[in-house]
Structure 1
């Protein structure tokens, strides 16, 4: 039955709208770029992790950001503007692009998820799939008439967008986005001696919640000083009921999530990824979240986080025994947590330096 469902999902997925470049597009701006306009549901992590710091890079044209959640598009100067759509579009934005097409220097789309795979997958709830259809897939039927460039967050996602020859744009967060107070260290357990373990998931990781639940139950039984917090939506909450020393938190708006790390630390951050069609296109942005909390991250061996063991960063197979053993080691060993957090800190610092290149396809095209 599972294989039948998967084949059906792939069949539907192939028939969903996909990005296509307009006729005559060259994968570069049509004319010199005077300014950049970013449309999206902003603020959001996609803009902050991939675009914000790059737009501030030396040599980039001036830019402005427009939130698409209002009914009307704000007054914007289209003359020589290059439009970047951050995942989503709205009817008003599509109308604005179409009415100003002759004045624009081009239109680009940035994607950081395999959205057709999420829509046809089994973990996202119905309302989120409907939202993705309405804001990310259905608009492509109109957007493709004006689309010049597509950026993708990972090589695997770019391979799924082969027809548009997507440009790979890995995460490059501004340093202040994950270093909060500016410190480079201060990795420690809670002041009361407890060790806080966190799993901050979105609503499309139901399988990973189920995977972690028995592991965390054993860790909490074996280590009285361990505590656990989990971000869980309506469906995932039920998985975690009945465990002591577990705090179930509601997912919060992006700005609140950023502020949350300014007042506390998490000792161990868990980032499991089940082997799945959707997860093959994931990018390693959870490293950034873990670094913000100064946590020791534990990551699944995966396309997103790699398999190499030649580092202090912890990447382990998606197997319950392996995860239980590593979490127990981290709970017991303050120095190990410090080393693991420090190694991850250096990895995120390298990600940050990638922002210096800006959006290269636009950088040399300005007037």
Structure 2
């Protein structure tokens, strides 16, 4: 193994949250990233390369792997969603489900014969991939992705009397929009200092119409979303997860977004974020009463918001520190091969 090549629709959060920092870990081989959105495979050297497919393949990537199979040192696939559950579910719109089928499910029939390893983001998702014997690869973001030098949570927003609550949803959380709407309506009615911003696609926008002090924002490209956190402000960020097959496999990546905004997070109790506990991070059960109580508590308690924000940032820091292990199986393989080459006096 001379190098690692990552194929995917990059930049994207999956690469940044799971792969980027691990690839930079000590004793990992050199790597390069190939963005497949242009249709054709970028010019990359297949000789001795270990290929990682980040979520999606494409017909051109499949052809490249087929034609270079004899030169590759191996092929791996990383998955961070229960894609069959998304495709067969109802929360994602039809075109996104069709995209997932074409980019993530259809290629597997051709890719399987080349795969040496499959990684999954959570133990539950790995259990859904029993035939692949998937290894678990939890999120491990680079620190630069969530810590921008303004780490003193107490220093922000002190002069503002208003409280901004945010729900930054993707297009597969329609049920959670419906869950939050009456809760937020009551919070806005009872607390005039509260404003609310929500990321909503065309289907979810209608849920939030006719509420005062609500800003409905269009979902934005990944790089724009990263930039938004460094210019914007969110005091309380909501992360509800309705019980579903898709959410059963979710990893706690929204913690990273909450940390980037230096917000106090409210996370659904469950497998992704842990059960209700007594620490500073708040994880109510998925019922309206519990969520109303927690949100009101945070709106009224500035110190509680700061403590919750710090607790989440500490949890994300632990994720980041885990990146130093790299891809343990690949690193061990690379180190062994490098030792053998040195002992034999070989050069690659």
1:219 to 2:187 alignment: yes
Q: Contact 2:234–2:263 (CA<8 Å) still a contact in 1?
A: yes
Matched, 1:114 2:75: no
* Cα distance in 2 for residues equivalent to 1:94 and 1:151: 19
Correspondence for 1:127: 95
Equivalenced residue count is 335
* Aligned residue number for residue 63 of structure 1: 31
**Other-structure match for 1:313:** 281
What root-mean-square deviation, in Å, do the aligned CA atoms of Structure 1 and Structure 2 show? 1.0
- 1:174 to 2:169 alignment: no
- Asked if structure 2 preserves the Cα contact closer than 8 Å seen for 1:197 and 1:229, the reply is yes
CA contact (8 A) 2:276 2:282 kept: no
**Structure having the larger proportion of residues in helix:** 2
Q: Do the aligned residues in 2 keep the contact of 1:187 with 1:341 (CA within 8 Å)?
A: no
1:11-26 maps to which residues of 2 (within 5 A)?
Answer: none
Matches of 1:39 and 1:250, distance apart in 2: 28
| Partner deviation per Cα, 1:150-169 (whole Å, 9 max, x = no partner) | 00000000000011110100
Q: Distance in 1 between matches of 2:150 and 2:119?
A: 30
Distance 1:126 1:285 in 2: 25
Alpha-carbon contact 1:110-1:150 (below 8 Å) kept: yes
What's the counterpart of residue 257 of structure 1? 225
1:100 and 2:68 are equivalent in the alignment: yes
Cα distance in structure 1, aligned partners of 2:264 and 2:139: 20
Q: Does 1:53 align with 2:21?
A: yes
Contact 2:164 2:236 in 1 (8 A): yes
How far, CA to CA, are the matches of 2:34 and 2:319 in structure 1?
Answer: 26
Structure 1, residues 100-120: CA drift from partner, whole Å, max 9, x if none? 000000000000000000001
CA contact (8 A) 2:78 2:118 kept: yes
Residues 165-207 of structure 1: CA distance to partner in whole angstroms, max 9, x if unpaired? 1010000000010012352434644643110000000000000
Equivalent residue of 1:315, what SS?
A: coil
Give SS of 1:109's match. Answer: strand
Question: In the alignment, which residue of structure 2 is the partner of 1:288?
Answer: 256
Aligned counterpart, 1:323: 291
State the 1:308 CA deviation: 4.4
2:39 is the alignment partner of 1:85 = no
TM-score (norm 1): 0.90
Going from structure 1 to structure 2, the CA distance change for 1:84 and 1:287 (only over 3 Å counts) comes to: same
Match of 1:200 in 2: 168
Give distance in 1, aligned partners of 2:108 and 2:236: 40
Output the CA distance in 2 between the equivalents of 1:70 and 1:50.
23
Q: Which of 96, 106, 117 is residue 149 of structure 1 equivalent to? A: 117
- Aligned-partner Cα distance in 2 for 1:232–1:248: 7
| Residue 241 of structure 1 pairs with residue 206 of structure 2 | no
SS in 1 for 2:231: coil
Q: Aligned partners of 1:205 and 1:187: how far apart in 2?
A: 33
1-structure distance, mates of 2:27, 2:142: 17
1:4 — aligned with what? none
Give distance in 1, aligned partners of 2:159 and 2:97.
42
Contact 2:36 2:42 in 1 (8 A): no
**Is 2:295 the partner of 1:336?**
no
Cα shift readout 1:43-62 (whole Å, capped 9, x = no counterpart): 00000000000000000000
- Tell me which of the two structures has the higher relative contact order, counting C-alpha pairs closer than 8 angstroms and 6 or more residues apart: 1
The answer to whether the 8 Å contact 1:188/1:334 transfers is no
Deviations 1:268-325 (A, max 9, x none): 0000000111100000000000000000000001111110413111011001011111
Q: In the alignment, what sits opposite 1:345?
A: 313
Aligned partners of 1:150 and 1:164 also within 8 Å:
yes
- State how far apart, in whole Å, the 2-side matches of 1:190 and 1:241 are: 30
Q: Choose 236-245 or 71-80, whichever is displaced more.
A: 71-80
The TM-score with structure 2 as length reference comes to: 0.95
Aligned to 2:10: 42
Task: Give the Cα–Cα distance (whole angstroms) in 2 for the partners of residues 246 and 302 of structure 1.
Answer: 28
2 CA distance for matches of 1:206 and 1:313? 25
